[in-house]
Amino acid sequence: MKLEMKDTPGQLVTALKPISDVGGNIIAIVHQRDPSTPSDTIDVQVVLDLAEKRLNDLLDLFKRHDVHVQRIGKERLIHKRSLIMIGHIMHTDLSDTVDQIDRTGYAEVSELHMVMPAIHEPSTARITIKSANEADMNRAVELLRNVSHRKDILVVEPLEEIA
């Protein structure tokens, strides 16, 4: 997110403290003076990792500390899950398999690592899917499971956190 704050000593610390107060994790800070902004304020860009439901708490805290939030950008697809597929992955139209996930609009295939030991023998692939949240991920995995079942491909799913 991009923050705008008064250019006075200690202001940066004041601005960053609320992030840790709501359980956020600061990944990077870019602190620079932008010629287009009024001279008594500075812009700070902060990259942080925060549970979505705590975002409003953070925004309230910023407001109280006179920190103006100019922009919030979100990485939409932060959930990742890797699965292993075994079978005739290529010859059962791999691009169709991938497309079915990509076309959903809520999940996409971000990585595919395939091993083909010999012609006519089953190949093995590790497929990584990204989605915005857990529920979408479960829908995408369900879809992959169904598509693979029709194509006689075995899908080995991860044992998610037991919790």
Partner 1 sequence: VKIALIGFGSVGQGVAEVIGRKDLGITITGVADSKGGAIDNNGLAIDRILSRKSETQCCGEPGITPMDIITGADYDALVEVSPTNADTGEPALTYIRKAMDQKRHVVTSNKGPIALAYRELRSRAAAQQVQLRYEATVCGAVPIFHTLDHGLGGNTIQSIHGVMNGTCNYILSRMAAEGLTYDQALIEARELGYAEADPTYDVKGIDTAIKLVILANTVWGLDMTLHDVNITGIDQLTPDALRLAEEQNHTIRLIGEAIYHTGLLRVSPRIIKRDDPLVVDGTLNAITLKTDLAGELTFVGKGAGSTETASAIIGDLIFIRDCYANGA
Q: Enumerate binding residues for partner 1 (CB under 8 A).
A: 82-84, 86-87, 113, 115, 117, 122-126, 154, 156-159, 162-163
Q: Which is nearer to partner 1, 115 or 119 (CB)?
A: 115
Measured CA to CA, the distance from residue 24 to residue 18 in angstroms comes to: 9
Strands 79-87 and 41-49: unpaired
CB of 82 to partner 1, least distance (A): 6
Q: In the numeric block, which tokens belong to residue 1?
A: 């997110």
Q: Which is nearer to partner 1, 27 or 163 (CB)?
A: 163
The answer to whether 19 touches 45, Cβ cutoff 8 Å, is no
CB of 15 to partner 1, least distance (A): 37
CB of 162 to partner 1, least distance (A): 6
CB of 109 to partner 1, least distance (A): 15
CB of 9 to partner 1, least distance (A): 45
Q: Which is nearer to partner 1, 13 or 163 (CB)?
A: 163
Q: In the numeric block, which tokens belong to residue 105?
A: 């609009």
Q: In the numeric block, which tokens belong to residue 107?
A: 């999940």
Q: Which is nearer to partner 1, 27 or 118 (CB)?
A: 118
131 exposure class (CB count in 10 Å sphere: 0-12, 13-18, 19+)? buried
* Displacement of CA 161 from its chain's centroid (Å): 18
Q: In the numeric block, which tokens belong to residue 79?
A: 């959930």
The helix-helix angle for 134-150 and 94-102 (nearest 10°) equals 150
Q: Which is nearer to partner 1, 55 or 112 (CB)?
A: 112
